[in-house]
Amino acid sequence: MNRHPLRCAGLACLFATSAHAATLDAPAAVPAQPLWELGLAGGVVSAPSYPGADDRETRALGLPLLIYRGKIFRADQSGIGARLFRTDAAELDVGLAASLPARSDDVEARAGMPDPGALAEFGPRLKLRLARFDGYSGLRAELPLRAVMEVRSGVRHQGYTFEPRLAYDRRSMDGKWLFETNLSAVVGDGKINRYFYEVRPEYATATRPAYQAKSGLVLVRAGLFVARAINRDLRAYGFVRAENYGAGANDNSPLHLRDNGVSAGFGLSWTFKRSAALASE
């Protein structure tokens, strides 16, 4: 599955790490999981409205939860997709994930401009295990390439992103805790950067001059994710992520108002039904 989208304002942002954190580096101490699970998930996420925004989006959501751990087709909190191949050292998957839309009227810098639609990201991701330190921890690299689609009165292609990512994860010996720290950078082509940062002449004002965006770095980010199994059916999740946009290719855009931002969230998931059959990872 793909991780959360570039503009993060939903449950995918909160739960995506839990769904994929140790799929490649899963230690032998972790027992086999059910082939499928049904449940409910809910949480609160607060994040910048877009990279470099002065405004924030805070969302509280509750959604049905379906997890399917097939050999090829997969579904979890972060999206749906297919695992094309997996070895002890590498894994390649392709997936789809989505975020919620924002309203330009709620984002002062974009007042009078078209509302950004809901974003969906689709594409392949290569995961490489760099090290396994013991039966409970490992270091991996992820190389996802995503096509970004906007859903707003139809579907429009809005460019491509590439997010190389380095992640270290560790499970507690009793399997109840999962920790992950990660570092990544997001690079966008000209089209997705125009989506976030361009001001066409018809939307220019005295305080918002016209601006033509270009391709290049969008942000760098560092994050911490923690999950806790309260009991067999109930799990708690939390994350905090610091982002820097000041080195981005479009830091001169009038829509770029902050060089730094923080996203955070907390949530719970409850499983009320699971299969007797176990997944074959």
Question: What domains, with CATH codes, occur in the chain?
Answer: 11-274 (2.40.160.40)
Residue 54 φ/ψ, nearest 5 degrees: -90, -20
Residue 61 has pLDDT above 80, yes or no: yes
Which tens digit of pLDDT belongs to each residue from 124-171?
999 999 999 988 999 999 999 999 998 877 889 999 999 999 999 999
As a whole number of angstroms, the distance between CA 242 and CA 260 comes to 7
pLDDT in the model for residue 50 = 87
Task: Give percent above pLDDT 90 in the chain.
Answer: 57
pTM: 0.86
Residue 90 has pLDDT above 70, yes or no: yes
Residue 213 has pLDDT above 70, yes or no: yes
pLDDT in the model for residue 104 = 61
pLDDT in the model for residue 229 = 93
And the tokens for 251? 């830091």
pLDDT in the model for residue 42 = 92
What amino acid occupies position 103? Answer: R
Indicate if the alpha-carbon torsion angle 186, 191, 195, 197 is positive or negative: positive
Decide: 195 and 188 in contact? Cβ < 8 Å.
no
Length of the chain: 281
pLDDT in the model for residue 94 = 92
As a whole number of angstroms, the distance between CA 44 and CA 22 comes to 24
Residue 14 φ/ψ, nearest 5 degrees: -80, -40
pLDDT in the model for residue 20 = 45
Q: Which of 122, 20, 121, 116 is nearest to 67 (CA)?
A: 20
pLDDT in the model for residue 236 = 95
